[in-house]
Amino acid sequence: MTTEQLTEQIKKKKSFLCIGLDVDLNKIPQHVLDEEDPIFSFNKAIIDATHHLCVAYKPNTAFYEAYGIKGWKSLEKTIKYLNEKYPEIYTIADAKRGDIGNTSSMYAKAFFEDLGFDSVTVAPYMGKDSVEPFLAFEHKHTIMLALTSNEGAFDFQTKTIEGKELYKQVLETSKTWKNSKNLMYVVGATKAEYFADIRNIVPDSFLLVPGVGAQGGNLQDVCKYGLNKHVGLLINSSRGIIYASNQTDFAQAAANKAKELQQEIEVILNSHSEE
Amino acid sequence: MTTEQLTEQIKKKKSFLCIGLDVDLNKIPQHVLDEEDPIFSFNKAIIDATHHLCVAYKPNTAFYEAYGIKGWKSLEKTIKYLNEKYPEIYTIADAKRGDIGNTSSMYAKAFFEDLGFDSVTVAPYMGKDSVEPFLAFEHKHTIMLALTSNEGAFDFQTKTIEGKELYKQVLETSKTWKNSKNLMYVVGATKAEYFADIRNIVPDSFLLVPGVGAQGGNLQDVCKYGLNKHVGLLINSSRGIIYASNQTDFAQAAANKAKELQQEIEVILNSHSEE
């Protein structure tokens, strides 16, 4: 999917919500566990109930790998279901991969071609030749960690490196890489005070913003500096939506939570387009 | 496996060779492709032919993920075969994972408990709370990227951050983390001139050293500064060994290549123990 198609979908749905499909069998409703493939059944119900309220889904691959082959089957079924039933939806494999060139190519092939995701998250530590193999895929996005939502972001990311914080070096350096137009960046909602600086460096890029909800990030603060002329934001919520209820009404409860966020986003989008 | 057990195995076998099981179906002998599970058959043949010459095997997970569920089955069979038939062998899941705390826990559980690896490689960019969930597992090692073997290592890792190169900050900071005794570090053989500095910071830790062979690193240079009183080195070779031949003699050819390296290592170990 192109950036333009994503922006179009956002404007049409009045939403830049991304729902994180981080399925933990210890947290899903008891009755779903009786299904043949509980993870897929759970995802399917959540997707059917929320697809009109969001523009993207983001399964974190850790939650699927944790269940071995069974988990990978659930992931494959989930992405296949999304691509077939809701092709307008943008999909993100939250995998945080990154390796030497020939190995990154294997990961890129797996997520973009075999599984059919629109995008994959990657880690920047190994530099240019670990990310460029992902960028080589046309109409696919590579979403690089810049400033993450967790406490550990302060260990290295915000440290000053040759006069500039590491996450800023990562943003600036990555702009020089081949096919850098295919980059998006992860910036945590818990770091809202950094968004103005980030927008100065990457004014046109989409930012994937986790950390609204369970991790405590504030939507208004993020949007104040994060929105750009293409909207440029995907706000992710995982646990706050998918675990809204662990009873038989879980899908409806998730939809209600997603609707709350979508409505908040709609107000923001309306006032943004008037500016 | 404990560090002491690993050192014992190294002394007994006179080898600190690790063989990278990075299996690409385009590169393995034609006749193996006719097997029911070509990747596992290839690995099994390589392992049976080389297990007495090395102390560790390191499958890079990218090469298995690239083949989807089939690939994960091959990975499961490979680690199971190693743990059952050669329990003295040290196993490394080269996965380069790292995520927020609850997600890193999922990865740690998958690689240490479900798959049964002795260790897993992780990326440091997200800091302390992305790595500590791995460190919590007793008798398991977490092998963190410090200075990688690729060209992109110079993009960020060797940049100066608050008076010190980033990779040194990573080494020093990680020593303060809970259960840091369970850490090892990835340091590329192509960066041999950095080993003296690295040994000053982490004198006692094991270093996993990729980049000998195909990537051009020199074994003598690495050992000169890298060896410590527990040996402290695992030298990895992947393509140089496993693709030594693509004919029916591939396993024997791999063993010959492994034997060359083992003999070189034996000479180094003998002269090291005399010092």
**Mean of pLDDT values over B204-208:** 97
Domain assignment of residue B274, yes or no: no
**Nearest-by-Cβ selection for B162 from A114, A153, A159:** A159
Lowest mean pLDDT among A27-36, A188-197, B45-54, B96-105: A188-197
Chain A residue with the nearest C-alpha to that of B151 = A129
Lowest mean pLDDT among A42-46, A196-200, A225-229, B209-213: B209-213
Domain assignment of residue B142, yes or no: yes
**Mean of pLDDT values over B97-117:** 95
For chain A, say whether B236 makes contact (Cβ under 8 Å).
no
How many C-beta neighbours within 10 Å does residue B164 have?
Answer: 14
* Residue A217, pLDDT above cutoff 80: no
What is the reported pLDDT for A122?
A: 98
**What ipTM score was computed for the predicted complex, to two decimals?**
0.95
Domain assignment of residue B42, yes or no: yes
**Best to test chain B binding among A61, A76, A77, A99 (most B CBs inside 10 Å):** A99
What is the reported pLDDT for A214?
A: 66
List, in order, residues 6 or more apart from A77 with CB less than 8 Å away. Answer: A37, A40
Using CA atoms, how far apart are residues A55 and A17, in angstroms rounded to an integer? 6
Q: Is the distance from CB of B207 to CB of B187 less than 8 angstroms? A: yes
Domain assignment of residue B275, yes or no: no
* Residue B47, pLDDT above cutoff 90: yes
For chain B, say whether A121 makes contact (Cβ under 8 Å).
no
**Mean of pLDDT values over A43-63:** 98
What is the reported pLDDT for A275?
A: 61
Q: Write the DSSP symbol of residue B34.
A: G
Domain assignment of residue B117, yes or no: yes
User: Computed from CA positions of residues B210, B252, B80, B206, in that sequence, does the dihedral angle turn out positive or negative?
Assistant: negative
Q: What's the CA angle centered on B135, arms B133 and B138, to 5 degrees?
A: 115
Chain A CB contacts of B145 below 8 Å: 125-126
How distant, in Å, are the alpha carbons of A64, A147, B54 from that of A98?
A: 19, 16, 27
SS3 of residue A148 by DSSP = coil
**Mean of pLDDT values over B238-252:** 96
What is the reported pLDDT for A228?
A: 95
CATH code where residue B114 lies: 3.20.20.70
% of chain B with per-residue pLDDT over 90: 91
Helix, strand, coil % in chain A, rounded to nearest 5: 50, 15, 30
* Residue A248, pLDDT above cutoff 70: yes
Partner-chain contact A68 B170, CB within 8 Å: no
Chain B CB contacts of A73 below 8 Å: 69
Using CA atoms, how far apart are residues B50 and B55, in angstroms rounded to an integer? 10
What is the reported pLDDT for B193?
A: 85
The number of C-alpha atoms within 13 Å of B40 and in the hemisphere containing its C-beta is 16
Considering chain B, what is the average pLDDT of its residues? 95
**Mean of pLDDT values over A205-223:** 86
The shortest C-alpha distance from B248 to chain A (Å) reads 25
**Nearest-by-Cβ selection for A128 from B24, B152, B159:** B152
**Nearest-by-Cβ selection for A114 from B68, B72, B97:** B68
**Mean of pLDDT values over A218-227:** 91
pLDDT band with cut points at 50, 70 and 90 for residue B163:
confident
How distant, in Å, are the alpha carbons of A146, A195, B34 from that of A221?
A: 18, 9, 58
Range of the domain at B105: 3-269
Pick the catalytic residue from B11, B73, B96, B109. B96
Dihedral angle over CA of A231, A124, B133, B74, nearest 10: 100
% of chain A with per-residue pLDDT over 90: 91
Tokens of A72: 């990978």
Using CA atoms, how far apart are residues B151 and B165, in angstroms rounded to an integer? 16
pLDDT band with cut points at 50, 70 and 90 for residue B205:
very high
For chain A, say whether B135 makes contact (Cβ under 8 Å).
no
The 10s digit of each residue's pLDDT in A8-21 is 999 999 999 999 99
For chain A, say whether B129 makes contact (Cβ under 8 Å).
yes
* Residue B9, pLDDT above cutoff 80: yes
Burial B95-106 (b: 16+ CB within 10 A, else e): bbbbbbbbbbbb
Lowest mean pLDDT among A117-121, A214-218, B13-17, B182-186: A214-218
What is the reported pLDDT for A157?
A: 97
Total of domains in chain B: 1
Q: Please give the positions of A annotated as active site.
A: 96
% of chain B with per-residue pLDDT over 70: 98
Q: Is the distance from CB of B136 to CB of B108 less than 8 angstroms? A: yes
**B212: β partners:** B217
**A19: β partners:** A57, A237
The shortest C-alpha distance from A266 to chain B (Å) reads 29
Chain A CB contacts of B127 below 8 Å: 150-157
Chain A CB contacts of B123 below 8 Å: 96, 98, 123, 125-126
Domain assignment of residue B126, yes or no: yes
* Residue B214, pLDDT above cutoff 80: no
pLDDT band with cut points at 50, 70 and 90 for residue B191:
confident
Partner-chain contact A66 B149, CB within 8 Å: no
Considering chain A, what is the average pLDDT of its residues? 95
**Mean of pLDDT values over A43-71:** 97
What is the reported pLDDT for B275?
A: 61
The 10s digit of each residue's pLDDT in B64-78 is 999 999 999 999 999
Domain assignment of residue B74, yes or no: yes
